[in-house]
């Protein structure tokens, strides 16, 4: 199989596997790189645990501005946010920051989804993947200047 990678504008790439081509945006590229690194270079003594990464993401959200959290809620994957909400269900500040930046309709949707999913808790591997993707998304929002407390989007 012939594999090639070409850079595209805005930090993305096009992956080619023989005649099949897939274009990834910058966030998807970063997520793919993180997942490949985790799969190929397991370093248990150095690697960050899913719990620790989720804690870091939660801390970023708790310290983020309302505009940044609202933007995160729009661009992050719904399932990733569900995983974080289930993992952090005992963290009242995290829940207040997230739910406080949702519409009433969104709160109902998330509450209903949480009632039917993850009844046995969140598997560590799923938490790790979701926290990785959320960390990349938060980092991207920080780079665009919309995530920090009191931040306004760069225009």
Q: What integer is the mean pLDDT of 94-109?
A: 96
Domain residue limits, the chain: 3-40, 50-144
Mind listing the pLDDT tens digit for each residue in 115-127?
A: 888 888 889 989 9
Q: Rounded to whole angstroms, how far apart are CA atoms 26 and 10?
A: 7
Q: Within 13 Å and on the Cβ side, how many CA atoms surround 32?
A: 13
Right CATH number for 50-144 from 3.40.50.300, 2.40.50.140, 1.10.220.30, 2.60.120.10? 1.10.220.30
DSSP 148: B
Has residue 146 got a pLDDT over 60? yes
Mind listing the pLDDT tens digit for each residue in 30-75?
A: 888 877 776 776 655 445 788 999 999 999 999 999 999 999 999 9
DSSP 88: T
* CA-to-CA separations, 119 to 27, 83, 107, 112, in angstroms, rounded: 30, 11, 19, 12
Q: Which is more confidently placed, 41 or 90?
A: 90
Tokens matching residue 11:
């930090």
The structure's pTM equals 0.70
Tokens matching residue 65:
């501005």
């Amino acid at each position: 199989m012939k594999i090639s990678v070409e850079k595209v504008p805005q930090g993305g790439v096009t992956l080619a596997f023989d005649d099949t081509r897939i274009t990834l945006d910058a966030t998807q590229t970063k997520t793919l790189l993180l997942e490949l690194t985790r799969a190929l270079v397991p370093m248990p003594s150095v690697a960050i645990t899913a719990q620790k990464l989720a804690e870091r993401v939660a801390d970023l959200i708790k310290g983020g501005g309302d505009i940044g959290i609202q933007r995160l809620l729009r661009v992050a994957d719904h399932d990733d946010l569900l995983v974080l909400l289930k993992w952090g269900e005992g963290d009242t500040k995290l829940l207040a920051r997230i739910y406080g930046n949702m519409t009433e309709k969104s709160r109902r949707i998330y509450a209903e989804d949480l009632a039917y999913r993850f009844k046995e808790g969140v598997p560590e591997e799923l938490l790790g993947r979701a926290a990785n993707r959320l960390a990349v998304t938060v980092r991207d929002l920080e780079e665009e200047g919309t995530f920090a407390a009191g931040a306004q989007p760069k225009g």
